[in-house]
Chain A
């Protein structure tokens, strides 16, 4: 068993809005082991990005607030670090890649300058060394003629290449954890496939652990070792990758997988659809957040929010009902 790199317990994050307090993350526990890729899956507003941004303290406060929890990274609680300490961790030991490579790059700064910045800041390289390392990094992420392209601006790169640059930047200080927040969502499928292949290759070369946040159950199947499924600010199912797809246990996970068309479908079958909409989260749910949309719902679900309970090997689901039998646990 490899050692634990990150251990998050009881994380809660809220946002103050004019309409009231939004309970975005409502007590999330998870661990990340060395070299492991953890997929975090869920729909918009389920808290998947906010929980990761909270750990890196990238939530704007106010309106956001981390109200509870701890995030232990190498014996230190990320949530209790000083601003200076956490700044050192970010971009150094833990780095992040965002969804939209256009808005995450500075449009008036050359790619070379942007790449050199973290190298000089975190690793203390001089200009010359930083330039050489930048070229190496661009080559590593598969940008042709890397030396010539350092003086280009982001708009001179295509969407896929910009995302490669973001990845190069994230890897520049040899992080132990890479947090990738929907890194391929804005890209076309063929470019998405290129980026996924690239990250799989770099994961082997660099050996970092990855948290891959996505709404796409297809992408996560191709890259993750383990998956957390989130809904309404909670992790509602966690499982090793194969078991999740073979034996989804939470009604929401079953619904999500069922709402995807089958790739080998010969005759058209009606898609399984989850009726209703995700919750608004203006109150912290005391019942199961999925119960209004669930077809297995029983009285217990409306009275008490289920904790994660074991349903298989390292596989846990937060549901009072055993979906294989339809009976209450």
Chain B
């Protein structure tokens, strides 16, 4: 659904390092390199999926785009505006256009505020509605996310997880954003409720012409909702491609292992197919391996993989991979 590939958001070599302090004088002894040089573009009207395991930096990437963290290095463009150097008041205004939906619908709503006040807060903050118009807008937003507007004077605890997530979505939509970062918005929900919320995301995208960065660890849901998918590992993007391309022809050894680990709701699948079970755990982002980040768990790693970081290379139109051996015969065998 991309409109002639108009780039809405562009991230250039983004780095987000969190310092580690130790000792009495709290000297900085190192840094957690949560995001360590990622670049990508998001086209207007599309959904870019960002997947990876816990601690790979996918949420940090999303939060840094919204300037919830001050990035260590790199640039973030929204249309033609560079966000990292924007003055605070300008950035505040910018947040009308860029919104976020959080993972935990229990923690992201203030339990002492009514639903009306929660959804109205961004309207009041930006003065986009006043007086009676606020209630009118809150009603419309609740209808938009398929909640009964008559419940607007209730409190969050009176709602289920799925309904709370809808409240969070209504709040994010209050000022008609164009770009929404969805940070694991369905992970905390039950299976039958997940499908409801995913369908709502798709409806809203069509209705309001939204662009999503959809962060998740559920690879099958990401495939379902995304137009393109980026796979992160230990602070970097290892592979980025069109959804069908990446799921049908994964190239990076990590993507291959990750995809083969997806549980498939089909017992017959397991009778015919052997999984690639990856050994070991993800190394610490405070002390990542030299060279290729994945080499310590990679089944086809060579000595030279540790010497320098591979290039993030476009191996086919729109298909990027960061691996020395992407076209090596070792990588063809599964």
Contacts and interface: CB of A to CB of B under 8 A. Distances in A.
Given A197-B275, A265-B224, A271-B199, A221 B264 contact: yes
B277 interface: yes
A262 to B, nearest CB: 8
Given A190-B53, A221-B269, A221-B270, A273 B191 contact: no
Contacts of A191: 53, 281
B191 A260 contact: yes
A43 interface: yes
Contact of A160 (B247, B257, B268, B281): B281
B267 A270 contact: no
14 contacts: A43-B191, A193-B263, A194-B278, A197-B277, A218-B264, A259-B192, A259-B194, A263-B247, A271-B199, A271-B224, A274-B192, A274-B195, A274-B196, A277-B162
Nearest to A278: B190
Interface string B36-54: 0000000000000000011
A241 interface: yes
B261 A273 contact: no
Interface residues of B, number: 41
A243 to B, nearest CB: 9
Interface stretch (B74-82, B215-223, B309-317): B215-223
A218 B192 contact: no
B266 A189 contact: no
A121 to B, nearest CB: 31
B199 A273 contact: yes
B151 to A, nearest CB: 14
Contact of B270 (A192, A222, A259, A263): A222
Contacts of A271: 195, 198-199, 224
Given A190-B278, A215-B191, A263 B220 contact: yes
Nearest to A188: B53
A189 B270 CA distance: 16
A221 B244 contact: no
A143 B266 CA distance: 30
B207 to A, nearest CB: 14
A74 B1 CA distance: 61
Contact of A189 (B53, B162, B193, B202): B53
- Chain A, interface size category, equals 35 or more
Interface SS of B by simple majority? helix
Given A190-B257, A193-B261, A273-B192, A245 B267 contact: yes
B196 A275 contact: yes
A30 interface: no
Nearest to A221: B267
Task: List the 9 closest pairs (A to B, CB-CB), nearest first.
Answer: A218-B263, A259-B195, A261-B224, A193-B261, A188-B53, A273-B195, A43-B190, A271-B195, A217-B265
A255 interface: yes
Given A188-B54, A265-B223, 8 more contacts: A189-B261, A189-B263, A221-B266, A242-B267, A259-B194, A266-B244, A271-B224, A274-B195
Interface centre among A197, A258, A259, A274 (most CB of B within 10 A): A259
A2 B180 CA distance: 55
Nearest to B224: A261
A97 interface: no
A83 interface: no
